[in-house]
Amino acid sequence: MEIKENFDIKKLTSFKCGGKIKKVFFPESIEEFQQIIEKNPETEVFGNLSNTLVSSWGYDESIILTSAMNNISIDGEKVAADCGVNGPKLAQEVCKAGLSGLEFMIGFPGSIGGEVYMNASAHDQCISDNLTNVLCYSRKFGLIHYSKEDMGFGYRCSRCEKDRLIVLQAGFELNYKSSDEIQKQMDENLNFRRTHQPSLALPNCGSIFKNPTGNPAGRLLESVGAKEIMMGGVRVWRNHANFIVNIADGSSLDILKLMYELQNRVKEEYNIILEPEIKFLGGKNSEENELWQILNKK
């Protein structure tokens, strides 16, 4: 197991910003993960930081990154994937096996743990559609197996946030289909993503805000002039207003200031409070802390 101290996290984040982390653990198995978390029970856990804004001022505690927990097993139509498995990697592996049901994940930059945690979705599919069971870690009860029905899946949510659960492994039951058909659907999904979302060549964390019921966040933001807004080294992507791109080595504070401006404009115009979809890891900068608290007030 790899352990890094005073680790510069910037290159690992999708936003390409972030300072030094006091200590980072990289477990490679569920057993190693248990060893770490039982000795350090309050340690924050992340996947590959694709949905996380890390403070440019760093973080003075330890974190666990599960990106090295990346085993995949395929037995007939049943698939098991560790939490650190990259979404596109899993989609490609099951395609080779002629298994359909995860085509929508081909364009996801995140890992399975985070995608199950938030019930990630795209192209009228969500991760819970073909999921059968989940192995989670509870800081109170240890390892717990949940069925799909136990998970309380909804739009961009599951019981994980409420119960402080960490997803360690997910099981799926897929359907046989020709690999050519599956690949064709994945290609279509990727083409859609290229025209509707910024590539990772423009550092971004995906959708910034959740969609309010019946009101897509991008449409609300576009109507209040979001696409013209820039803050420091970051700006709203010109093709879709619910994305922020880091164009000039912007800081986490730039991003939070821009998120505050966006949320405030929509609140003033429509009396709708947009809820952040991304997570934040920080604590050392008081202005950032205050902005994050404001952004999460409902």
Catalytic residues: 156, 207, 277
Contacts of 28 (CB under 8 A, 6+ apart): 1, 68, 69
Three-state secondary structure of 178-203: CHHHHHHHHHHHHHHHHHHCCCCCCC
CB atoms within 10 A of CB 142: 11
* Rg, the chain, Cα only: 19
* Exposed/middle/buried for residue 112 (C-beta within 10 Å: 0-12, 13-18, 19+): buried
Query: Considering only CA atoms, which of 159, 74, 76 is closest in space to residue 116?
Result: 159
Instruction: Give just the sign of the alpha carbon dihedral 65, 35, 170, 137.
Output: negative
Q: Is 276 left (phi over 0), alpha (psi -120 to 50) or beta?
A: beta
* Exposed/middle/buried for residue 42 (C-beta within 10 Å: 0-12, 13-18, 19+): exposed
Query: Considering only CA atoms, which of 92, 95, 32, 41 is closest in space to residue 67?
Result: 32
Helix axes 179-196, 87-96, angle to 10 degrees: 160
Give the whole-angstrom CA distance, residue 67 versus residue 114.
11
Count of helix runs (H) and strand runs (E) in the chain: 8, 18
